[in-house]
Amino acid sequence: MSLLAILLTLQLPQPARAETPAFCPAPASAVFAPTALPSLNIFLGDYNISASAGCLDFAMAASAKGDTTLPLTVKELIDKGRACLKKNGLTTPLHALNRALNPDHSGTSGKTIKLACARKEGELLPVNDGEITATDIACSVGDPTQPEFPAIAVNMEWAGKFRKPSFQAAFFHELFHVAGYGHDVGVDYAYLAADCCFEKIDAANACAMMKNAEGKGQDYWTSKEYLAPYMKWQGWGRWGIAKLLLDNAAKAKPNDQLGVHAGTIALLKVWGGHLTPKWKAQLLAECLPAAKHSGTAKTAELEKECNDLR
């Protein structure tokens, strides 16, 4: 039996559910009514992913046009991403991804990842025990305390582009949120793995940063070795994420902020010319305190680095 035939025949009752602003925005911003199509309780069982409501619409439309169906595209990108991580010796993100995709649900609090398909950006979608609002290419709910967890919402306006690297990178990125990784603390596997395996711009550095993190302790993300290259790589257009990570690293290691200082200097040197005056002023204001609390005897030298960028 074909995959489409399975999708069309196994129509099971839709579970009732409610949303979180984990990564998908809050449902209050929704502008479209949720679709009333039946839920499908089968999608990619071997990957711990099942589809709900609007995904049936796409499966039917794609088949009629002879296009690839979303399930096959998701399988393709997961297989590609796994192969990439394995090839590069990136065991930490590979194991995290495998746990999240394990059919025994051991990596997702005993639950199946629900894939919700929106007809347009802003559509409100019932997922698990809540609702999520589709935004951008894809978004996710990766917080186990939220009633929608675990879930990924896909914007079907991208139909026809599902094999493009941009969609595959976005979906792979969201899988790592479901696997428990964010951008505010820890090694940023969501962005790094997506860029390493699906984007051509600076992919080598993304792979290298994950490789350098292999076998390191839990505090590695606060170190100079991680924060300096990460800020050089991540700074472009993602200053909010970069700044949040620096702030949290300072809180995590208040008396050992050598990494925070190095990351701040790297961000200012590489991207200072692109920062707004407000962003630059904030970074400069926090550079000196990081130097003073670097945990080294080189405070004066580090402070001079800050002042030289004013």
Q: Which of the two residues, 122 and 42, has the higher pLDDT score? A: 122
Q: How confident is the model over 111-137, as pLDDT tens digits? A: 999 988 888 888 888 888 898 888 878
pLDDT of residue 85: 98
pLDDT of residue 66: 53
User: DSSP letter string over 28-55?
Assistant: GG--BPPP-PPEES-SBGGGTEEE-TTH
Q: Which of the two residues, 196 and 9, has the higher pLDDT score? A: 196
Q: Please report, rounded to a whole number, the percentage of residues in the chain having pLDDT higher than 70.
A: 79
**pLDDT > 50? residue 16:** no
Bridge partners, 304 (sequence order): none
**pLDDT > 60? residue 215:** yes
pLDDT of residue 28: 39
pLDDT of residue 240: 83
**pLDDT > 50? residue 63:** yes
**pLDDT > 50? residue 257:** yes
Query: What's the average model confidence in pLDDT over 254-265?
Result: 95
pLDDT of residue 133: 86
Which helix or strand (DSSP H or E) is residue 306 part of?
helix 299-308
**pLDDT > 70? residue 185:** yes
Q: pTM here?
A: 0.82
HSE of 241, CA atoms in CB hemisphere, 13 A: 18
Query: What's the average model confidence in pLDDT over 81-99?
Result: 96
**pLDDT > 70? residue 159:** no
- Going by DSSP bridges, is the β-strand pair 113-118/49-51 parallel, antiparallel, or unpaired? parallel
Direct distance between the N- and C-terminal alpha carbons of the chain, in angstroms, rounded to an integer:
67
